[in-house]
């Protein structure tokens, strides 16, 4: 069930820890996971929900055991639709990407940066992964080091991709435009 609204979570993945088999919750939030008799740690995870584990669930042959989960739902807060940077040639510069979780569950994220034109390693992000608690926001540093010395290209294009367990989108790609100023003295 959802922690904030007590409504069923459909399509959550339920499995015993260290077991590759899993099942999904149905429209009522119920699941049935067949396990041999023993004691298990049972976890729930999936897109749009935070992960949770119930420890020490004991199963007995030909009997039902029950493990209930109440999980929060992270919500990606779209605080920006693009990233625009003015940078000096041959110097480290950048800006921040504002990342937020407006939901009721913990949001885990990873962020990658890709240089498109020109190709290379002129763009990075820091930190590149982490977690945000419900209603928490963070500034991610988008770092660029543009060098136009050999090609006189003054507009750099790239992408920053945010992957998370949040809704409405688990993958968000933001375009990056860097305008390079050819001034040696700030």
DSSP 106-126: -EEEEEEEEEEES-SS-EEEE
Q: How far is CA 168 from CA 50, 119, 138, in A?
A: 14, 31, 19
Q: Which residues contact 37 (CB under 8 A, 6 or more apart)?
A: 59, 60, 61
pLDDT at position 31: 94
pLDDT at position 4: 78
pLDDT at position 160: 97
**Predicted structure pTM score:** 0.78
Radius of gyration of the chain from its Cα atoms, rounded to whole angstroms: 22
pLDDT at position 186: 54
Divide the 186 residues of the chain into consecutive groups of 10 and give the mean pLDDT of each group. 86 94 94 94 89 94 90 88 91 93 92 95 96 94 88 90 88 94 66
pLDDT at position 184: 61
- What percent of the chain has pLDDT above 90? 68
pLDDT tens, residue by residue, 76-129: 988 899 999 999 888 899 999 999 999 999 999 999 999 999 999 999 999 999
């Amino acid at each position: 069930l959802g922690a904030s609204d007590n409504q069923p979570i459909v399509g959550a993945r339920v499995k015993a820890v260290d077991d590759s088999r899993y099942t999904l919750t149905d429209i009522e939030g119920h699941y049935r996971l067949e396990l041999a008799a023993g004691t298990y740690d049972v976890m729930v995870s999936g897109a749009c929900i935070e992960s949770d584990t119930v420890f020490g669930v004991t199963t007995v042959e030909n009997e039902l055991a029950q493990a209930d989960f109440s999980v929060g739902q992270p919500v990606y807060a779209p605080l920006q639709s693009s990233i625009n940077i003015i940078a000096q040639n041959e110097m480290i510069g950048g800006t921040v990407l504002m990342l937020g979780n407006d939901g009721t569950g913990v949001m885990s994220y990873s962020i990658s940066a890709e240089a498109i034109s020109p190709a290379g390693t002129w763009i990075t992000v820091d930190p590149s992964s982490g977690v945000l608690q419900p209603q928490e926001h963070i500034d991610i540093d988008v770092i660029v080091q543009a060098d136009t010395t050999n090609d006189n290209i003054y507009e750099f294009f790239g992408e920053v991709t945010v992957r998370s367990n949040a809704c409405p989108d688990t993958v968000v790609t933001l375009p990056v435009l860097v305008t390079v100023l050819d001034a040696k003295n700030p």
